[in-house]
Amino acid sequence: MNVANGNAIVVVVLSGDVAGELSDELLEQAPAKEANTMVAAMSDLDLRMAVILPRRVRRVATGRIDTVSVVSIRQNAYVANLDLELMLTDLETLVNIESPSRDVQALVVSAAALSSLIEQRLGGTAEIIDSPVGPHVHWSGGGEPKVLVLGHHDTVFPFGTVAARPFKVVEGRAMGPGVFDMKAGIVQAIHGLAQLPDLSGVEILFSADEETGSHDSRGLIVQRALACGVALVLEPSADGGALKTARKGTGTFELLIHGRASHAGLEPEKGVNALIEAAHQVLAVSTLGDTTTGTTVTPTLASAGTADNVVPALAKVTIDVRVEAPGEKERIEAAMAGLHAHLSESRLELRGGINRPPMPASSSAWLFPLAVQVASDLGLGEIAGVAVGGGSDGNFTAANGVATLDGLGAVGGGAHADHEYVLVATMPDRARLLGGIVAALQAR
């Protein structure tokens, strides 16, 4: 189905032994899921074979349907192809195969499961790309690359989490480690793409190290994104399903403060107190943020010392940095590098930096309106776009000039937290949205 043409929504009348009528009015009244059930009940035909193209119905010969005629064209017929039960089965499989970042053994199993799922649903061969941090998974629909569907299969949850809280669905919410960030996004994308009659120009890349900064996969991600020219990122949506049109650049600094130990009771004057020096540094970095440019600099972790009665010889402070305006990355990096010690004999050592450059709003300047149009054509209603503080691999693709739209994954909440969840009822529509956007990009 070429949804790029947009105005085409299909309602068909099937006639034959087992066929019923699917009228415009009926569809109008029926939520998508019921429409699905109605269509399925009408015949045993595999609905995928009746993929309806604008102004054209492709009829496939099995089933007992005598005629298929187009009454009017609405995209709602498309949803009938999505099988939520199957999506949930695939989601359960992926969630219950744990894939913590850095756990190479677990990631090997996860990559194998993921590649076999892709092959099962989309055909072709998914390539497993080994890396020291665990394998990435790449798949191509062939032809000239036009769109990269980008995600990650690692999660922030340690191995063993599934034993404590395996995949489950309670009151319409799917739960389990990594379900929201981003296994449901992966499942939606695969099922959304499976609806398209042709996947040429489409590439999929699922990396194994996004949650730890994508240090290994970054080169591969940028290479494939540049080859495709467009990146659709499957990170979870913002509130209410909003897409992510801009992201701040993100970084973590670690400041090590070296002093000198001494006995806190007998001769404290002989020590150099790294904790006191750390206090000076925390106050100094806390002034580097700038609300007018959206830059935040936040000390988040601190530790010092070895015992109650010892002047601490070492302190450590971790600082979270977010930047969005041009030049702010450089300003903060220079300011951090320019920090100086207050106590005469203490010494500072700075590690880390701003890893992910900002994803500016310009990177989604034409992609977001296209997504809005697709959502409207598919009857999915209005869709919002928001700028967010968190980083993703979309930051890397955007920084390399690749048109990038993010937040195309699951609708739910609680990312990285134990109560993380996905709203199950939204999954088919999100799959349709992703499939629709890809189809529109293929048609460009």
Interacting residue ranges for Zn ion, rule: CB under 5 A: 181-182, 235
CB of 103 to Zn ion, least distance (A): 16
Q: Please, what is the minimum distance in Å from the beta carbon of residue 185 to Zn ion?
A: 8
Minimum distance, C-beta of residue 210 to Zn ion, in the bound complex (Å): 6
The CA distance from 123 to 305, in Å, is 57
Angle at 193 between CA 192 and CA 197, to 5 degrees: 115
Q: Determine contact, residues 267/343, Cβ cutoff 8 Å.
A: no
Residue 102 DSSP class: T
Minimum gap (Å) between residue 234 Cβ and Zn ion: 8
Of 32 and 186, which has the nearer Cβ to Zn ion? 186
Between CA 416 and CA 244 the distance in angstroms is 18
Q: Which is nearer to Zn ion, 78 or 167 (CB)?
A: 167
- Beta-carbon neighbour count of residue 211 at 10 Å? 20
Q: How far apart are the first and last CA of the chain?
A: 14
List, edge to edge, every strand of the sheet that includes 403-405. Answer: 127-129, 136-140, 202-207, 147-152, 230-233, 403-405
Q: Which residue is nearest to Zn ion (CB)?
A: 181
**Shortest separation between residue 180's beta carbon and Zn ion, angstroms:** 9
**Closest distance between Zn ion and the C-beta of residue 93, in Å?**
19
- Interatomic CA distance for residues 101 and 186, integer angstroms: 17
Other C-beta atoms closer than 10 Å to the C-beta of 291 total 7
Which C-beta is closer to Zn ion: that of 216 or that of 235?
A: 235
Comparison of 98 and 181: residue with beta carbon closer to Zn ion: 181
By beta-carbon proximity to Zn ion, the closer residue of 235 and 277 is 235
Residues 6+ positions from 149 with CB-CB distance below 8 Å: 189, 193, 202, 203, 204, 205, 232, 234, 434, 438
Q: For Zn ion, which is the closer residue by CB, 146 or 218?
A: 218
Please identify, using beta-carbon distances, which residue of 11 and 410 lies nearer to Zn ion. 410
d(CA 244, CA 235): 9
CA 1 to chain centre: 25
Nearest approach, Cβ of 153 to Zn ion (angstroms)?
Answer: 10
As measured in angstroms, the least distance from the Cβ of 232 to Zn ion is 14
CB of 412 to Zn ion, least distance (A): 13
Q: How many helices (H) and strands (E) does the chain have?
A: 13, 22
The answer to whether the CB of 54 falls within 8 A of the CB of 77 is: no
For Zn ion, give the closer residue by CB, 181 or 209.
181
Instruction: Find the helix packing angle between 84-96 and 184-194, rounded to 10°.
Output: 140
Nearest CB to Zn ion, comparing residues 358 and 409: 409
141/176 with CB nearer Zn ion? 176
| Pick from 298, 337, 289: nearest CA to 317 | 298
Give the integer Cα–Cα distance in Å for 232 and 146.
11
CB 294 to Zn ion: min, Å: 22
- Tokens 């989490």 map to which residue? 161
Three-class secondary structure of residue 23 per DSSP: coil
* Smallest separation (angstroms) from Zn ion to the CB of 128: 20
Give the dihedral sign, CA 144/150/153/154.
positive
Cα angle 20-25-31, degrees, rounded to a multiple of 5: 90
CB of 415 to Zn ion, least distance (A): 7
Cα–Cα dist 315/259, whole Å: 8
Q: State which residue, 110 or 273, has the beta carbon closest to Zn ion.
A: 110
Question: Between 209 and 324, whose beta carbon lies closer to Zn ion?
Answer: 209
